[in-house]
Structure 1
Amino acid sequence: MTDRPDAQTPAPLGPGSLTWRYFGDTRMILVGPRAPVLQNMLPALGQGVLDHSVFFTDTFARVKRSTGPILDTVYGAERSAETGHKVRDYHRDIKGTMPDGSRYHALDPETYYWAHATFLDNMLYGIETFIRPLGEAEKRRIYEESKTWFRMYGVSDRVMPDDWEAFQAYWTRMLDEEIVPHKTARYGVGYVKKGLPAPPKVPAPVWRAVSPPLNAVARFLTVGGMHPRMRELLDLPWSAADERRHHRFAKAVRAANRVWPLLPEAARYLPQARRAFRRARPR
């Protein structure tokens, strides 16, 4: 859990990186909650959320509080390391005991890197599903950028795979051997079977009218964006017909990408990315 010395903090990512181009792209939203659900399927991380987070009482607040600082770490330019260290420090007191009596800590390198790896996977999957195929050289480039990004947190990188090929082996092992249907992950996808919770300010009759299509869309995006191993462990039904529909949906999104550059930047990128692009433009 030792921090990296400041002298070893790498130069931040910038507008020339593929990560800047895609991580804050609003099309990533179409992936659904693939990354946070995967995070919570690692026992230590799921337990930390169960014991310490407001996830169960205010799910959307937890997601918003986590996503913003991570985007700022990617797009913060010269402030990326400062922001990354703040993100790390949020996790210093997240520790406790697992059901088997072993101890966990959010800053254990294995646990912290897993959370980061799920964001990398989410971006790669989102690009290839909804934007365009990536060549092997581009995947290696994005992976190398992810190493720079991870080092902005100032957490030990001893478990980080050396290269893209090693990361692929790591990812396969984690999916095959390490993730479980933790209670936190099951809760996070509970609305797939039970429906979305009614927002507190929406009248009950209105919610009864609008919730069926919203529930259908939420289920489609959530389960459709998951790795088959996640669906298997979480017992989420997904038929061959569902898979065909999702492929057709992704193909339609990719076809619409021809007009994507014509849309306003506010429609194409999240606020953190837009602010970074503005700062990086020549004055």
Structure 2
Amino acid sequence: MTSIEESDSGSATGGRERRGFDEGIREAVPMPVDDDIADLVAPLGPDSLVWKFYGDVRGVLGFQRLAGTENCIEQLGQAVEDHSVIFADTIGRAKRSGPPIMKTVYSEDPHAWGRTVRDFHRPIKGTIADGSRYHALNPELFYWAHATFVDQVLYVTDTFIRRLSDAEKEQIFEESKAWYRLYGVSDRGQPQTYAEFVEYWDRMLDRFVPTRTIVYATGYIRKGVPGPRRIPAPVWKVLSAPLNAFTRTVVVGTVPPQMREVCGLEWDDKKEKRFQRFARMMRALDPVFNRLPLGVLYLPWARDAWRRAGVDPRRRHNAPA
């Protein structure tokens, strides 16, 4: 198979030669595309697997995998450290970042929301430890951030909802390409097939480093979930024991081994078995989840989109294609 570094982009966004990550990332040049071109992209809809699975409430189980893998790449971790309030308001940042991306998929005007997400990133630039520059709209860096959302849909669905067929994984990846085009950023760094995406993902995992951002963001796992100030520490130690057990088994279980290593997250065969038991239980409960009210099963933006479309997702795509 031709590697990503050697192939040419055949997309409508320019037909440029796709460069290797190291070469492209060091250009640190923002590369938006013409908004008129982006407006020609057909948004996703209720027939898509991304609509079915992305807004499912079970996606919350992959929150640490999503945020963690994203910030283990040095340029992105540095950008978050330089330009966000993650160290002062971690939860607030997540609440502000997530909805615009979800609205790019589920809103009535996904093109406008895609441009909004892109334009948030226009002023985000700086340097990393070796003095080289980064820019958030550099195609290699912007695509990596998008790739973590694609991985979230694939991983959470296959692990906690139901097993995906190879054809469904291919379909989700193809839909993710349309999703990415809504942002109006060059797709120079984007793989063109699902097989290439898997190879790309594996190579990116090997680039993980312990950025200050991700080490800080996983501190609650190593040290224990911090308690409310009103609860005495000895009482919280008892109350938080089940929560800490959950984070150190289920949450840590979702993240790739490379992330566990750079973040100093303990793992062993016993925890792996517990995690797999939990995942099997969640998949077995899928018919039960599909009987829940729409507003319980889906996050608000997805729920509203399904109601607007007049489609009940609970009856769709419940078995492999």
Counterpart position of 2:261: 232
After the TM superposition, which parts of structure 1 deviate over 3 Å for at least 4 consecutive aligned residues? Answer: 202-209
> In the aligned structure 2, how far is the partner of 1:123 from the partner of 1:69?
17
Which residue of structure 1 aligns with residue 180 of structure 2? 150
Choose the corresponding residue for 2:161, options 119, 127, 131: 131
Indicate yes or no: 2:59 matched with 1:31.
no
**DSSP 3-state at the match of 1:262:** coil
Which has the larger share of helix?
Answer: 1
Percent of aligned pairs with the same amino acid: 50
CA contact (8 A) 2:208 2:258 kept: no
Counterpart for residue 102 of structure 2: 71
Gaps of 5+ in 2: 1-29, 312-321
The alignment's C-alpha RMSD in Å is 1.5
Residues in 1 aligned to 2:85 and 2:99: alpha-carbon distance in whole angstroms: 16
| TM-score, scaled relative to structure 1 | 0.94
For residues 51-77 of structure 1, what are the alpha-carbon distances to aligned partners after superposition, in whole Å with 9 as ceiling and x for unaligned? Answer: 111101110001111111111111124
Cα contact 1:32–1:221 (8 A) shared by 2: no
SS in 1 for 2:134: strand
Contact conserved, 1:13 with 1:74, CA < 8 A, in 2? yes
Aligned partner of 2:232 in structure 1 is 204
Superimposed CA distance per residue, residues 85-136 of structure 1 (whole angstroms, 9 cap, x where no aligned partner): 1111111111112121111111111111101101111111111111111111
CA distance in 2, matches of 1:179, 1:68: 26
Give the aligned partner of residue 10 of structure 2: none
Q: Deviations over 1:156-215 (max 9, x none)?
A: 111111111111111111112x22121111111111111122345x43366444222222
CA apart distance, 1:32? 3.8
Match of 1:52 among 71, 83, 107: 83
* Contact 1:143/1:163 (8 A) holds in 2: yes
Q: In structure 1, the residue corresponding to 2:227 is in which secondary structure? A: coil
Q: Is the 8 A contact 2:69 2:148 kept in 1?
A: yes
1:213 aligns with 2:266: no
TM-score with structure 2 setting the length: 0.83
Instruction: Extract unaligned runs of 5+ from structure 1.
Output: none
Residue of structure 2 in register with 1:4 after alignment: 33
> 1:62 maps to what in 2?
93
Q: Which residues of 2 match residues 47-126 of structure 1 at below 5 A?
A: 47-77=78-108, 79-126=109-156
- Inter-partner Cα distance in structure 1 for 2:33 and 2:293: 40
Q: Secondary structure at the match of 2:86?
A: coil
1:245 maps to 274
